[in-house]
Structure 1
């Protein structure tokens, strides 16, 4: 009698999950370079997005270690939804502000957050796109692995899969250390207010000071003009 309860994962499924995990590693490493290399410390919404990427990566890692499972994909889907909500907190106010600025002729621009762009888009916009791709990816993989079942026994992994798993481990460790240095054991400070557990001479130079809108000179009124 043939047993269809447990089927070995497809090679394509393992490859796709390993590539997706490497993509998340690239995102986490880029955020660290953005923070310490360019001085853009994350705010609360950005910290939540990092946590969502870590949660999504954990779901993919479980797929690689124990085989594809609907529960693992559900973890990644939940992380993507949390990340979309967190990234939307940063993207939507800028969209509304741009629309309001365009509708109000002559209104001074107000700088909110980091205006720096990566390949033409702001980091929050890239993050929102990344979480949307994760949603599509999980939907596709659930169809590909529709006969996969939960398995608590670890499986042997190849060299490429092991490489992606170890890279994610170090990327997650670096992200956790960076969050600890900024926040310590209390509430995370606002961007530009330093790091709780870093000496003053090691503090990254904040870049937010370069994007704050300078106050415009007050317009001279008739009463102020010399007669």
Structure 2
């Protein structure tokens, strides 16, 4: 695999992560479904995975970047499994709406597994690591868009988490943003 193809595939992967984070924000802001602590941790794992992929785009592909993506995705998958197991017992309820018959934490698990598999497959191509990439100092439009979208979503997630949790622990079932609520 050429370094250019590697950059394109990493760009598409980062755009996919950006799309998932955007959909989570739409669910949070538009539909008022505030994320639970496990949902926030799943997003953090996806952001860690996205950081590895973004490093590949900006600095060129390296095994350590793929390693970061895999570690972040495994963390997100583990947290998703925990949430799935909390709600798998009949009568225990669920958290949030379902999409195409599966809850968002189940989709998060499947997406994290896809990141692990995709990053592992990318690691199998040694040629992308040995090619010298021309360093023009500028990213093309699509990779730049993917990285900027990812950075904006990362900052928005940090702000959202601080607003939701305030200065303390995040509520188990949030109903308002702690930072903006006025306690009497």
**Any gaps of 5 or more consecutive residues in structure 2?**
none
The secondary structure found in structure 2 opposite 1:19 is helix
Which of 100, 109, 117 is the matching residue for 1:136?
117
Does the 8 Å contact 1:13/1:144 carry over to 2?
no
Give the Cα separation in 1 of the matches to 2:74 and 2:141: 31
Match of 2:159 in 1: 177
Give the Cα separation in 2 of the matches to 1:184 and 1:170: 21
Number of residue pairs aligned between Structure 1 and Structure 2: 179
- 1:121-177 CA-to-partner distances (Å, cap 9, x unmatched) read 10001000000000110111101245616x9x9753211111111111111111111
Give the Cα separation in 2 of the matches to 1:39 and 1:89: 23
Give the Cα separation in 1 of the matches to 2:29 and 2:139: 34
Give the Cα separation in 1 of the matches to 2:125 and 2:151: 26
| Regions of 4+ moved over 6 Å | none
Match of 1:117 in 2: 98
**Any gaps of 5 or more consecutive residues in structure 1?**
1-8, 99-108, 201-227
Match of 1:25 in 2: 18
Greater CA radius of gyration, 1 or 2? 1
Deviation at 1:188, TM superposition (A): 1.1
2:180 is the alignment partner of 1:198: yes
Q: Give the TM-score normalised by structure 1.
A: 0.73
